[in-house]
């Protein structure tokens, strides 16, 4: 196995996480591709062109190429991209036929999975798929932001034909099997990693000086503003705290069809609860700046309705920040309940506030959780992720391709 064709149709690894549709998947594609390069397997990343200025091929890291594929108007929303799947598929196929040096396909998300499924058959190449989120899981969580029937059909087809399905955790593997009937023998658990050279503990006082923050207790939320992420619950948690001096910092921007209306809802709620002076909105931050917010905060709130993994929680843990999160998906792998943070089974803001209070009102508890968070994060590295993927890719060479025809 020499080289992978990595498909990331709806978002580029070069994009800033937290803006628009950019999130943990951007980080995953960039870091996995870079780490695989170090492990001896090169990658070419294919994404959809969203402007006229970006060159056809851009290079990042140690010579990894990101290829911009023309597919529909630049302004198309993610929710409308399925209509241009054929254009994206054809563009990737044309490039691969000219290059003739890629050995397997790695698809990220259902849109790329749809394209890669077609390419698997037209080019006779093995297909590895990482879904990052699953429609049936999101629907069960109460997310009504998108009609899922078409997506569920595509996900089912791709799962049925993928030679390897990559799962972030045992929880996602269970979801793949129970909701989609995935063959467990083709599911490989490969957790993402975190860059410990960036995300590591440092002085809270110095971080607050850099950010011009005072000594108020600080709750932190990092993510896209959309109903699925539970920003409204983070705000309600702040309101329920007995300590009325604690502040909440929200880092992110609106995403998806409901993003703008959700932000308006959040801002109105903050005003109605009398929290205007205690909530700070901050635009999405690059990693080298985001790390200071993790170091400056006292607790990370992650009240998502569903999470495939939750890279933000892992980044926070690596910086020694205790996490109070929903007991969903991969967050249950990252957060060690009552050791590095708390996992909450309900969506009652009082429950979140009670557990936040246990941390911010007990300095010894907070310090112990901080140390345990750092310790538990050490097993998650991108080099380990790449090593597991490299082994899977090498094993794939000796397998017969799954035939879904």
Q: What is the pLDDT of residue 21?
A: 56
Q: What is the pLDDT of residue 22?
A: 53
**How far separated are the first and last CA of the chain, in Å rounded?**
25
Cα(391)–Cα(147) distance, rounded to whole angstroms? 37
Q: What is the pLDDT of residue 320?
A: 98
Q: Specify whether the CB–CB gap between 107 and 115 falls below 8 A.
A: yes
Q: What domains does the chain contain, in order, with CATH numbers?
A: 3-193+382-396 (3.40.50.2000), 204-377 (3.40.50.2000)
> For the chain, which ranges sit under pLDDT 70?
16-23, 100, 143-147, 405
pLDDT tens digits along 305-322: 999 899 999 999 999 999
Three-state secondary structure of 199-250: CCCCCHHHHHHHHCCCCCCEEEEECCECHHHCHHHHHHHHHHCCCCCCEEEE
In angstroms, the Cα distances linking 222 to 186, 203, 294, 311 are: 33, 20, 9, 10
Indicate the burial class of 380 (C-beta count within 10 angstroms; 0-12, 13-18, 19 or more).
Answer: buried
pLDDT tens digits along 377-398: 999 999 999 999 999 999 988 8
Residue 307 CB contacts under 8 Å (≥ 6 apart), including other chains: 326, 328, 329, 330, 331
Q: What is the pLDDT of residue 397?
A: 83
Cα(370)–Cα(172) distance, rounded to whole angstroms? 27
Q: Specify whether the CB–CB gap between 1 and 104 falls below 8 A.
A: yes
Q: What is the pLDDT of residue 26?
A: 85
Q: What is the pLDDT of residue 78?
A: 84
**Count of beta carbons in the 10 Å neighbourhood of residue 198:** 13
Three-state secondary structure of the chain: CCEEEEECCCCCCCCCCCCCCCCHHHHHHHHHHHHHHHCCCEEEEEEECCCCCCCCEEEECCCEEEEEECCCCCCCCHHHHHHHHHHHHHHHHHHHHHHCCCCEEEEEHHHHHHHHHHHHHHHCCCEEEECCCCHHHHHHCCCCCCCCHHHHHHHHHHHHHCCEEEECCHHHHHHHHHHHCCCHHHEEECCCCCCCCCCCCCCHHHHHHHHCCCCCCEEEEECCECHHHCHHHHHHHHHHCCCCCCEEEEECCECCCCHHHHHHHHHHHHHHCCCHHHEEEECCCCHHHHHHHHHHCCEEEECCCCCCCCHHHHHHHHCCCCEEEECCCCHHHHCCECCCEEEECCCCHHHHHHHHHHHHCCHHHHHHHHHHHHHHHCCCCHHHHHHHHHHHHHHHCCCCCCCCC
Q: Cα 98 to chain center, whole Å?
A: 32
Among candidates 305, 241, 255, which has minimal Cα distance to 284? 255
What is the pTM for the complete model shown? 0.92
Residue 34 CB contacts under 8 Å (≥ 6 apart), including other chains: 60, 61, 62, 64, 382
Q: What is the pLDDT of residue 168?
A: 94
């Amino acid at each position: 196995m020499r080289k992978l064709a990595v498909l990331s149709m709806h978002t580029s690894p070069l994009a800033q996480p937290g803006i628009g549709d950019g999130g943990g998947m951007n980080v995953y594609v960039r870091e996995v591709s870079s780490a695989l390069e170090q492990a001896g397997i090169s990658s070419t990343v294919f994404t959809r062109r969203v402007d006229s200025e970006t060159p056809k091929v851009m290079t990042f890291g140690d010579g990894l190429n990101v290829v911009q594929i023309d597919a529909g108007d630049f302004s198309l929303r993610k929710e409308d991209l399925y209509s241009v799947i054929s254009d994206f598929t054809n563009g990737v196929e044309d490039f691969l036929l000219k290059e003739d040096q890629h050995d397997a396909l790695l698809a990220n998300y259902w849109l790329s999975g749809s394209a890669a499924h077609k390419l698997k058959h037209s080019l006779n190449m093995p297909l590895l798929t990482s879904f990052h989120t699953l429609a049936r899981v999101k629907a069960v969580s109460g997310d009504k932001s998108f009609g899922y029937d078409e997506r569920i059909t595509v996900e089912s087809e791709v799962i049925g034909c993928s030679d390897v399905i990559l799962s972030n955790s045992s929880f996602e593997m269970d979801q793949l099997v129970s909701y989609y009937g995935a063959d467990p023998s083709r599911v490989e658990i490969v957790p993402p990693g975190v860059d410990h050279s960036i995300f590591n503990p440092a002085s809270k006082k110095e971080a607050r000086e850099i950010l011009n923050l005072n000594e108020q207790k600080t709750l932190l939320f990092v993510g896209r503003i959309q109903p699925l992420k539970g920003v409204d619950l983070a705000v309600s948690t702040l309101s329920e705290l007995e300590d009325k001096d604690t502040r909440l910092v929200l880092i992110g921007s609106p995403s998806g069809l409901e993003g703008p209306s959700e932000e308006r809802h959040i801002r109105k709620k903050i005003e109605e609860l009398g929290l205007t002076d205690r909530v700070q909105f901050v635009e999405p931050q690059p990693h080298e700046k985001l790390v200071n917010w993790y170091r400056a905060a006292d607790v990370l709130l992650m009240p998502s309705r569903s999470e495939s993994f939750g890279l933000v929680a892992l980044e926070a843990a690596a910086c020694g920040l205790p996490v109070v999160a929903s007991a969903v998906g991969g967050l249950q792998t990252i957060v060690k309940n009552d050791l590095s943070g708390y996992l909450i089974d309900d969506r009652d803001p009082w429950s979140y506030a009670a557990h936040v209070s246990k941390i911010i009102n007990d300095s010894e508890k907070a310090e112990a959780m901080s140390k345990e968070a750092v310790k538990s994060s050490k097993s998650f590295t991108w080099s380990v992720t790449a090593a597991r993927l490299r082994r899977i890719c090498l094993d794939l060479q000796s397998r017969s391709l799954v035939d879904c025809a």
